[in-house]
């Protein structure tokens, strides 16, 4: 009897990789990191591999280092694996050539991910893997968590027999992080399939002074070419070896794989060919369409992509096929077609099968959704009057018109599948609780279970959407839920922010966590939500989880309460069982923290059910036109047209033309977000304040700021001020202003406030929004204080405008107060060469930018290169500005040497040359030089002085000394 486990793709693959590795050389990169972490953890715990030894794990300084270590370890006779993705994989390429060239058996497991081009994306596509086509590695693809485990085994077994290294890949996030119930293969079973002679032969080939040989020589033109052809027969043997190994694995597991797996009717005429997780969605869709509509659609799933076996391909493709759509999850700009398409075209042409119509298209880049609706559009295109070739599907390319039109939304999930969606707040425990629910259901029932978790770009406090499916059949829906039986909203602020019930099925359940009564719902819910609830005849429940959590002393942790409510309402398993399992898991998870913590969780489970209230949905809601609305913020056109839809989870609908071709975006956009995510925000107690400005210094989000306003300035009545302390502020009034909707509620400010009687008291958000939002808006429009402040003091520095505000950093972040301070001091002349990490996520994650500008429009310019090279990137920026400013100095020198140049130009030019490398002095000198040049130029005159002055003005943006911050 097979052992079932509920596990993610990375876990399933690591299980196999560990078995076959003597050594693992690693370097973490999302989304592959957890594979290395699993292996590292098991090694630390002394788990044994197939050779009865604990795997030796070595974490290197980069992926290039990891690949080098793999190479060396293989050369010395240890079976060695690594795990990587994206740029990390690209860094391994030089060593991959070496490993393949030396016929060293190894497996690199890759959770395939996009490559950074116009922007970085940590999400999945095949761009990284496709960049390795030429290395000599065999490329083996998996489409699901189960397949990822099985193909990992195929790869490890085959590489031993073939002496060709394997790159085993599966889709980043979609497969690597998807949780599925799978059948696990035990190590004893795997061991039976190992070619032990091949293991011995590999070890015997190791570099060893007892029987020395030399590898990696330098060859001349006379022999390099021939030697490059010498291993051909190894590649020719790979398809046969993989086929054989797949048969063995099939005998062992009952799951039968081929190099190309065909699914669909034997007499299919229309076939989609693809690899990776999309194969599952296509199989699910053709099953539904063939059954419901009598179509004869098929899918050819590619497993062994390199070496590409034309023979196996043709054998797998039904002879009846007339139309083929080849889908690639990558883009190769300027090519005649993407890689798989080109291969299929080549095979069909070489085999004289020009009778088959072939079109190719791109889908799913950067984990773009790939749904049954899109798959249907691909089949429809095959029968269009003029089928599109080189198309895109899933986007609206309104520039080059490559996209396929989509039809009505298609539900292809097998009957009986229960789909549940949860909208949570990052770090509120929702995702953890859902992972736990999946395990409970997966481990205790014979239901198949699938979990997928989508996050927005905020470090925490952002949106998380959990997608859970349960069913009697294996779940092949490798896309987010678009037909939900159950939807839970864990944060009341989301009701106006997201269209959550759009995907709710007729008669489905909507669960809301809010403090609102049934009567209040009318005014608290937006019109479109009320309409959908009524039209879909939804069963609507509310629970005040925050209140209940407080009652059982869980603070603001609502996850356990919401989990219990889910089990009660979704009825995937009888509630009595769920209650028992949840309590068992709570004991397992929190047992180490003591009985009191376990009890709190048990109390939370018990109290949840009593707090559930069914809310009647009046029929009149079906035509509701009034209700709550999201806070209206006056913003830029760019924000309204591009950012707002992305924030509202509608980014998929943006057309290609909405984006700049080079991926650049305007700064200063977080100020329009107004997330309103805090539970409590600080209220200023004017009488207690000693005007130290420490609150402003420690605020990670630039939410609380001191303002100086001229006495007599007209201001709102509620904008209370007090006389500013300090003679340099004579004639000014002082006020601390909080922007409640930007606050994360971390409490740092209130905690640091040194006033004897606290001058900051944390109060519920709602009241503070009502009392302070208008004041915050007024304060934000006040002119910057232009008087002298001692910016070398805490107090003085905080009167300078932060040019980094309202970032997506975690509440209470200890890093961003410094970032903010640096921008206050130097931001107006700063360029940031960003080092990938937290600072890229809170500083440069689409769609908003926290770096902003001062009243003159000056502020940090920011760019990220690669994880590995930000120092060099910043060094390059410095070279550029030194060179450009040196050129400017030459121009200014020439200008002031012109005899008849004006006295002002000469004086200003000289001053700039003398002070140009002094940051503050260069600002004043630059302003004077610009003014003198503008003044001195005579319209239409082409004399030397006017020409050179124009040259100065044309390059005036380099006059002020720049500060390059490598961070």
Which residues contribute to the site for ligand SF4 (CB under 6 A)? 681-682, 684, 689-695, 699, 701, 703-704, 736, 738, 743-749, 753, 755, 759-760
CB of 707 to ligand SF4, least distance (A): 11
Q: Give the nearer residue to ligand SF4 in terms of CB position, either 55 or 703.
A: 703
3-state secondary structure of 723: strand
Q: Which is nearer to ligand SF4, 414 or 726 (CB)?
A: 726
Q: What is the nearest approach in angstroms of ligand SF4 to the Cβ of residue 297? A: 53
By C-beta, is 261 or 772 nearer to ligand SF4? 772
The residue among 429 and 682 lying less far from ligand SF4, judged by its C-beta, is: 682
**Which residue is it, tokens 């994306």?**
121
Residue ranges with strand state E in 679-804: 680-684, 704-710, 722-723, 732-738, 760-764
Sheet arrangement for strand 861-864: 861-864, 830-834, 963-966
**Please, which residue, 231 or 747, has the CB nearer to ligand SF4?**
747
Question: By C-beta, is 300 or 704 nearer to ligand SF4?
Answer: 704
Helix, coil or strand: residue 513: strand
CB 703, min distance to ligand SF4, A: 4
CB of 677 to ligand SF4, least distance (A): 10
CA distance 213 to 581: 60
**Nearest distance, CB of residue 739 and ligand SF4, angstroms:** 8
Q: Is 896 in a helix, a strand, or coil?
A: helix
| Least Å from the CB of residue 684 to ligand SF4 | 6
Q: Closer to ligand SF4 at the Cβ: 353 or 758?
A: 758
Closer to ligand SF4 by CB, 102 or 751: give it.
Answer: 751
Nearer to ligand SF4 among residue 366 and residue 726 (C-beta): 726
Nearer to ligand SF4 by Cβ, of 551 and 728: the residue is 728
Collapse the DSSP code of 288 into the 3-class scheme (helix H, G, I; strand E, B; otherwise coil) and give the result: helix
> What's the closest the beta carbon of residue 758 comes to ligand SF4, in angstroms?
7
Q: In the complex with ligand SF4, which residue's Cβ is closer, 40 or 673?
A: 673
- The neighbour count for residue 77, using CB atoms within 10 Å, is 17
Instruction: Pick between residue 572 and residue 749 the one whose CB is nearest to ligand SF4.
Output: 749
Phi and psi, residue 764, nearest 5°: -55, 145
CB of 798 to ligand SF4, least distance (A): 8
Rounded to whole angstroms, how far apart are CA atoms 551 and 954?
Answer: 66
Contacts 24+ apart (CB under 8 A), 317-320: 317/260, 317/262, 317/271, 318/262, 318/264, 318/265, 318/266, 318/267, 318/268, 318/271, 320/266, 320/267, 320/268, 320/269
Q: What does the alpha-carbon distance between residue 122 and residue 125 come to, in Å, rounded to a whole number? A: 10
CB of 669 to ligand SF4, least distance (A): 18
Cβ proximity to ligand SF4, 12 vs 546, nearer residue: 546
Q: Residues 800, 933: contact at Cβ < 8 Å?
A: no
Shortest Cβ 718–ligand SF4 spacing (Å): 17
For residue 199, count other CB atoms closer than 10 A to its CB: 17
- Residue 354 vs residues 133, 147, 188, 328: alpha-carbon distances, Å: 26, 33, 48, 21
Helix H, strand E, coil C: the string for 52-105 is CCECEEEECCCHHHHHHHHHHHHHCCCCEEEEECHHHHHHHHHHHHHHHHCCCC
Q: Give the C-alpha separation, 465 to 359, whole Å.
A: 35
- Listed in sequence order, the residues at least 6 apart from 561 whose beta carbon sits closer than 8 Å to its beta carbon are 543, 545, 548, 549, 554, 604, 605, 607, 608, 611
**Of 264, 329, 322, 254, residue with least CA distance to 295:** 264
Q: What gap in Å lies between CA 103 and CA 235, rounded to an integer?
A: 10
Tell me the closest approach of the beta carbon of residue 753 to ligand SF4, in angstroms: 3
Q: Which residue has the tokens 């975006």?
A: 665
- Dihedral sign of CA atoms 302, 303, 306, 309 in order: negative
Query: Distance (Å, rounded) from C-alpha 761 to C-alpha 749?
Result: 9
Return all residues near 793 (Cβ < 8 A) that are at least 6 apart: none
Determine phi and psi for 299, rounding to 5 degrees. -135, 135
Question: What is the widest separation between alpha-carbon atoms in the chain?
Answer: 97
Query: Least CB distance from residue 839 to ligand SF4, whole Å?
Result: 18
Q: Closest separation between CB of residue 694 and ligand SF4, Å? A: 4
User: Is the omega angle on the peptide bond into residue 314 within 30 degrees of 0, that is, cis?
Assistant: no
Q: Which of 304, 290, 269, 280 is nearest to 364 (CA)?
A: 280
Shortest distance, position 430 Cβ to ligand SF4, whole Å: 22
Nearer to ligand SF4, 337 or 812 (CB): 812
Q: Which residues pair with 421 in a beta bridge?
A: 467, 487
Burial status of residue 242 (CB atoms within 10 A of its CB: 0-12, 13-18, 19 or more): buried
Looking at beta carbons only, is 128 or 805 nearer to ligand SF4? Answer: 805
What tokens does 678 get? 């805090």
Nearer to ligand SF4 by Cβ, of 237 and 761: the residue is: 761
Nearer to ligand SF4, 281 or 760 (CB): 760
Contact (CB, 8 A) for 807 and 701: yes
Please state the closest distance from residue 809 (CB atom) to ligand SF4, in A: 10
Rounded to the nearest whole angstrom, what is the least distance from the CB of residue 742 to ligand SF4 in the complex? 8
CB of 245 vs ligand SF4, minimal distance in Å: 56
Nearer to ligand SF4, 438 or 760 (CB): 760
Residue 787 C-beta: closest distance to ligand SF4, Å = 18
Which two three-digit tokens encode residue 631? 């806070």
Distance, CA of 852 to CA of 260 (rounded, Å): 52
C-alpha to C-alpha distance for 158 and 166, rounded to whole angstroms:
8
């Amino acid at each position: 009897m097979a052992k079932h486990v509920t596990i993610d793709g990375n876990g399933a693959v690591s299980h196999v990789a560990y078995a076959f590795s003597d050594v693992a050389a690693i370097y973490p990169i999302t989304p592959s990191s957890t594979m290395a972490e699993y292996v590292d953890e098991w090694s630390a715990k002394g788990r044994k591999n197939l050779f009865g030894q604990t795997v030796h794990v070595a974490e290197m300084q980069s992926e290039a280092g990891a690949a080098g270590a793999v190479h060396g370890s293989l050369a010395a006779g240890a079976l060695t694996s690594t795990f990587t993705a994206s740029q990390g994989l690209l860094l391994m390429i030089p060593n991959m050539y070496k490993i393949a060239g030396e016929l060293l058996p190894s497996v690199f497991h890759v959770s395939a991910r996009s490559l950074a081009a116009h922007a970085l994306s940590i999400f999945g596509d095949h761009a990284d893997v496709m960049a390795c086509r030429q290395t000599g590695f065999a490329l083996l693809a998996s489409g699901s968590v189960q397949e990822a485990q099985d193909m990992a085994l195929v790869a490890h077994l085959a590489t031993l027999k073939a002496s060709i290294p394997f790159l085993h890949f599966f889709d980043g996030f979609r497969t690597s992080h998807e949780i599925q119930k799978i059948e696990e293969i035990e190590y004893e079973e795997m061991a039976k399939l190992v070619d032990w002679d091949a293991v011995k032969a590999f070890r015997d080939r190791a570099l060893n002074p007892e029987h020395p040989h030399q590898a990696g020589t330098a060859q001349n033109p006379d022999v390099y070419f021939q030697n490059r052809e010498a291993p051909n027969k190894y590649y020719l043997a790979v398809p046969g070896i993989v086929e054989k190994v797949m048969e063995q694995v099939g005998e062992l597991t009952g799951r039968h794989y081929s190099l190309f797996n065909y699914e669909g009717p034997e007499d299919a005429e229309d076939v989609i060919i693809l690899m990776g997780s999309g194969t599952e969605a296509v199989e699910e869709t053709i099953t539904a369409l063939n059954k419901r509509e009598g179509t004869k659609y098929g899918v050819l799933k590619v497993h062994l992509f390199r070496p590409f076996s034309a023979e196996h391909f043709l054998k797998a493709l039904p002879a009846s096929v007339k139309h083929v759509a080849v889908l690639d999850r990558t883009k190769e700009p300027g090519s005649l077609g993407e890689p798989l398409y080109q291969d299929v075209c080549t095979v069909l042409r070489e085999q004289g099968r020009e009778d088959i119509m072939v079109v190719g298209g791109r889908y799913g880049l950067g984990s773009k959704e790939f749904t049954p609706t899109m798959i249907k559009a691909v089949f429809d295109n095959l029968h269009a009057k003029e089928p599109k070739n080189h198309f895109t599907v899933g986007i609206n390319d309104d520039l080059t018109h490559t996209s396929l039109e989509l039809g009505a939304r298609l539900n292809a999930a097998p009957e009986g599948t229960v789909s549940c969606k949860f909208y949570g707040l990052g770090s509120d425990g929702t995702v953890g609780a859902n992972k736990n629910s999946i395990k409970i259901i997966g481990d205790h029932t014979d239901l198949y279970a699938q979990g997928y978790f989508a996050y927005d770009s905020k470090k925490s406090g952002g949106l998380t959407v959990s997608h859970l499916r349960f069913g009697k059949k294996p779940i092949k829906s490798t896309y987010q839920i678009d037909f939900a039986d159950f939807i839970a909203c864990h944060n009341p602020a989301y009701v106006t922010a997201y269209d959550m019930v759009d995907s709710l099925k007729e008669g489905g359940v909507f669960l809301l966590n809010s403090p609102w009564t049934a009567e209040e719902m009318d005014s608290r819910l937006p019109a479109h939500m009320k309409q959908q609830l009524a039209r879909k005849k939804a069963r609507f429940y509310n629970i005040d989880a925050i209140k209940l959590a407080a009652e059982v002393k869980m603070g603001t942790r609502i996850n356990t309460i919401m989990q219990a409510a889910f089990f009660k309402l979704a009825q995937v398993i009888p509630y009595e069982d769920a209650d028992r399992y949840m309590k068992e898991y709570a004991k397992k998870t929190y047992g180490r923290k003591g009985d009191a913590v376990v009890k709190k969780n048990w109390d939370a489970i018990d109290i949840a059910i009593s707090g559930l209230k069914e809310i009647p949905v009046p029929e009149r809601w079906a035509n509701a036109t009034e209700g709550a609305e999201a806070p209206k913020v006056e913003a830029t056109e760019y924000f309204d047209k591009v950012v707002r839809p992305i924030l509202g989870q509608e980014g998929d609908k943006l057309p290609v033309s909405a984006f700049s071709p080079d991926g650049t975006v305007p700064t200063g956009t977080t100020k329009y977000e107004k997330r309103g995510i805090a539970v409590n925000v600080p209220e200023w107690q004017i009488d207690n304040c000693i005007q130290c400005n420490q609150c402003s210094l420690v605020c990670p989000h630039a939410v609380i700021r001191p303002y100086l306003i001229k006495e007599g300035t007209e201001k709102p009545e509620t904008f209370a001020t007090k006389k500013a302390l300090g003679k340099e502020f004579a004639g000014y009034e002082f006020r601390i202003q909080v922007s409640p909707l930007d606050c994360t509620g971390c409490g740092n400010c209130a905690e640091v406030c040194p006033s004897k009687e606290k001058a900051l008291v944390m109060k519920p958000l709602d009241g503070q929004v009502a009392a302070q939002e208008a004041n915050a808006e007024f304060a934000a429009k006040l002119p910057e204080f232009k008087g002298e402040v001692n910016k070398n003091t805490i107090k003085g520095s905080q009167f300078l405008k932060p040019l980094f505000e309202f970032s997506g950093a975690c509440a209470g972040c200890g890093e961003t107060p410094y970032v903010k301070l640096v921008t206050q001091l130097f931001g107006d002349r700063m360029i940031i060469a960003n080092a990938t990490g937290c600072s890229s996520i809170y500083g440069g994650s689409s769609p908003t930018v926290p770096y902003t500008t001062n009243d003159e429009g000056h502020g940090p310019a920011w760019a990220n290169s690669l994880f590995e090279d930000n120092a060099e990137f910043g060094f390059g920026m410095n070279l550029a500005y030194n060179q450009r400013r040196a050129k400017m100095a030459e121009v200014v020198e020439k200008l002031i040497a012109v005899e008849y140049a004006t006295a002002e130009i000469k004086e200003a030019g000289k001053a700039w040359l003398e002070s140009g490398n002094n940051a503050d002095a260069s600002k004043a000198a630059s302003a004077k030089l610009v003014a003198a040049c503008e003044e001195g130029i005579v319209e239409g005159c082409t004399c030397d002085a006017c020409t050179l002055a124009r040259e100065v003005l044309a390059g005036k943006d380099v006059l002020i000394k720049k500060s390059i911050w490598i961070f």
